Amino acid sequence: MADDKEVIEALANEKRLFEPSLEFVKKANTASSALYEEAARDHEGFWARQARELVSWFTPWDRILDWNLPFAKWFVGGRLNISYNCLDRHVESGHGDRVAIHWEGEPGDKRTITYFELLDQVKRFANVLRDLGVSEGDRVNIYLPMIPEAAVAMLACTRIGAAHSVVFGGFSSQALADRINDASAKVLVTADGGWRRGEVFPLKSQADEALENTPSIEKVVVVRRGGNDVSMKPGRDHWYHELMEEASSDCPPTPLDSEHLMFLLYTSGTTGKPKGIMHTTGGYLTHVTYTFKYVFDIKPETDVFWCSADVGWVTGHSYIVYGPLANGATQVMYEGVPNYPGNDRFWEIIERYKVTIFYTAPTAIRTFMKWGSEEPAKHDLTSLRMIGSVGEPINPEAWMWYREHIGGNQCPIIDTWWQTETGGVMISPLPGVTATKPGSATFPIPGVAAELVDDAGKRVERGGGYLTLTKPWPGMLRGIWGDQKRYQETYWSRFAGRYFAGDGAKLDDDGYLWLLGRVDDVMNVSGHRISTTEVESALVSHPNVAESAVVGANDATTGQAIVAFVTLRGGSNVSEKDLRDHVAKEIGPIAKPKTIYFTPDLPKTRSGKIMRRLLRDVAEGRNLGDTTTLADASVVDELRKKATAAPNED
C-alpha cells in the first residue's frame, strides 16, 4: 500500500450519496434499522433467530454459541442437513416445479432444472458416492467446469455428510494434486473438459496427471461435457451418466451435527502452501441464507438471480449453490467467458432470462468499461433491480459506470466485502436501508462487528487502519485443515482478541468504510488471491532460475498484476514465455506473471532481505525512494532502466 495517502485523499473527496429509491424501499426485505438494533442488543440472540427462522433443523440446538477464542461452535447440539434445506423443503412446500437453475453453456446449449429435478439428481448422486465407498466424514474432490453437475456433486456430499473440496477448473494438475493430497480425498469428480472461449479445455487429462501422485483417491467420476477424448482407467474411472442411470433416487438426508465439517476450500496465504479453510454445517448455512435474504434482498417467487463467479471460488459456493438454493431462488448459471461469441454475451443473458439481480467482480466491470457502453446498450437490461460487486475494492469510476450503464441509474449497488474465511458477506449496504457512496462497502451488516486498528492494535475511529472483526459470526472458518496452529497465527495473533482480515481500510467522517486492499503478501489479481511466495516458489522450481521476487503492481483492469523479478543460474537462459508457461503448469494460468524482469541481482538490504517496496516502485514506474539501506544500489539502477524500456508481456 505504497500510495495509501493518495487513495485516502481521493476517497475523502467522494461526496456523492445515493439513497435507495422509494419504490425499492417499499418492497425491500428490510427497510429500517431494526435488524441493526436487534443485533446490537443481543448478538447471539439475533443469530439464533435467523437460524430458527431461515433454516430447518431436525434437532434443535442446546446452546447458541461456544466461544473459546479462536474456536467457535455455533448452534451446539443441533442437527440438520444442508441438501434438505436447499432442496427437499422447497419441494415439500409445493415448489418442486420452480426453476432452480437456468443453465447456459458457452456454445449456447441450454438446460432448465427445477427444484424437483435437482433433488432427484442429488439423491442419485449421493447414492453413487456411497456405492463408491464414500461415507460420513470422507472428503470428495470436485474439479469441474461451470455445469449443473458441480452443484449436484456438492449437494450430494452434504446429503451424506461427506466434505467437499472444490478445486477451480483453471488450476493446474500440480495444484490439484497438492489439494487432493492435503485433504486426503477419496473420490474425485471431474469432467472430460469444458467450454471456454469457443474451445474445449481438457480437465480429465489434467486430472490424470494429478492422479499419478494422489494415493488417497480410490475412484474417479467423469462427467461428459466437452466431448473430447479421454482415457478411462478400468476399475478406477467411471462415467457419471452411466452411474446415475443405475443409481436409486431413494436417499433420505442424513441428520448431521451443526459443527459437522461441510467443506474445505483452499486459499492462498502469505506462504507458498495453500490453506484448506474449514467450514461447518449449521453456522455456514445460517450465514449464507440470512445474507442472501437481506443483503441480496431475494424474492424467491419473482427474482432471477445471476452470480457470474465460478463455483470453484467461495463466491460460487455461497452465492451460486447454498445461499440461493436455501432461499428457494431461481438463478442463471453460465459456463463460459463474457466475450464469446461477442463482447455482449453477459447482457444478452440478462435480457434472455430477465435477470433481476446481478452479482459480479470489479475486474469484470472494468473490462466491460473498456469494451464500451455500446455493448450493454444493445440489450434490454430493465429487468435488473439490483446489482452487486465482490472480490476487490471497486473504484468510484467503475462503480458509477456500473450504476449508469448496467443499473440504468435506478438499481442499488451492493459492494460486498467478505472472504473465503468469513463464509458469507460481512460488510455491505442493505439495499433498502443504506445510502451508498461510490466505492465504499459502507457498514458491517447486522450481526457483524468490524473495527479498524492501528499498528499497536488501538482502535481507529477515523482514517486508515487494519480491518479486524471483533465478534464470532456463524459463517466463520473453523480453522485450517490439519494446521490449527497456522489458523491461530494467521488470523488471531497480530491483534489480541481480534480476527485480522489482512486488509487495510479507511473510515471517513460519516463512518463509511472504504476497503483499500491487502496489507500482506497476498496479491489480488482479478479478484483471485495469489500469494507472492507461491509464485516465487513456482519460478524457482524451474531448473534455470536461481532466485525470484514477486510483487503485485497496480493494474487498471485486474486490480493488481503479477510482476516477477528473476535471477537466472549462471550460464543458463530461458525465455520469458517458457517461465510464464512453467508457472501456469505449477499453479494455473491465473498465476502467470504479466511481466518478468531478468536481473543479475535482486535489491537486498545488508541483512539480505529482498526490498519489495523498491521492486513495487520499479514495477509501477515510480520514482525510487530511499535506497540507502541497499547493499548494492547499482542493482536498482539497472532494473529501472529495464522497466522504462518497452514492457515485455505476451
Beta carbon nearer to ligand WTA, 253 or 446: 446
What is the full DSSP assignment across 441-487?
Answer: -BSBPTT--EEEE-TTS-EESSEEEEEEE-S--TT---EETT-HHHH
Q: How far apart are CA 251 and CA 160, in angstroms?
A: 9
Q: Where are the alpha helices (DSSP H) in 55-108?
A: 82-83, 89-90
Least distance from C-beta 569 to ligand WTA, angstroms? 35
Closest CA to 474 of 424, 428, 430, 429: 424
Least distance from C-beta 416 to ligand WTA, angstroms? 5
Q: Is 239 helix (H, G, I), strand (E, B) or coil?
A: strand
Beta carbon nearer to ligand WTA, 313 or 487: 313
Least distance from C-beta 449 to ligand WTA, angstroms? 17
* Cell 442499488, located at residue: 412
Closest CA to 536 of 501, 567, 577: 567
Q: Where are the alpha helices (DSSP H) in 190-280?
A: 204-211, 240-246
Least distance from C-beta 502 to ligand WTA, angstroms? 6
Beta carbon nearer to ligand WTA, 249 or 271: 271
Q: How far apart are CA 560 and CA 207, in angstroms?
A: 29
Least distance from C-beta 171 to ligand WTA, angstroms? 14
Least distance from C-beta 269 to ligand WTA, angstroms? 11
User: What values do phi and psi take at 559, rounded to 5?
Assistant: 85, -70
* Cell 488501538, located at residue: 458
Least distance from C-beta 529 to ligand WTA, angstroms? 5
Beta carbon nearer to ligand WTA, 328 or 527: 527
Beta carbon nearer to ligand WTA, 4 or 581: 4
Contact positions vs ligand WTA (CB under 6 A): 267, 313-315, 390-393, 415-420, 441, 501-503, 515, 518, 524, 529
Q: Which grid cell sits at 649?
A: 508481456
Beta carbon nearer to ligand WTA, 362 or 432: 362
Q: Say if strands 595-598 and 559-568 run parallel, antiparallel, or are unpaired.
A: parallel
Least distance from C-beta 587 to ligand WTA, angstroms? 15
Beta strands in 178-234 (DSSP E): 187-191, 193-196, 199-202, 219-223
Least distance from C-beta 359 to ligand WTA, angstroms? 11
Beta carbon nearer to ligand WTA, 78 or 502: 502
Closest CA to 649 of 584, 580, 586, 546: 580
Beta carbon nearer to ligand WTA, 429 or 472: 429
For 32, 383, 502, 518, 566, the CA distances from 521, given in Å and listed in that order, are 40, 41, 9, 8, 18
Beta carbon nearer to ligand WTA, 122 or 314: 314
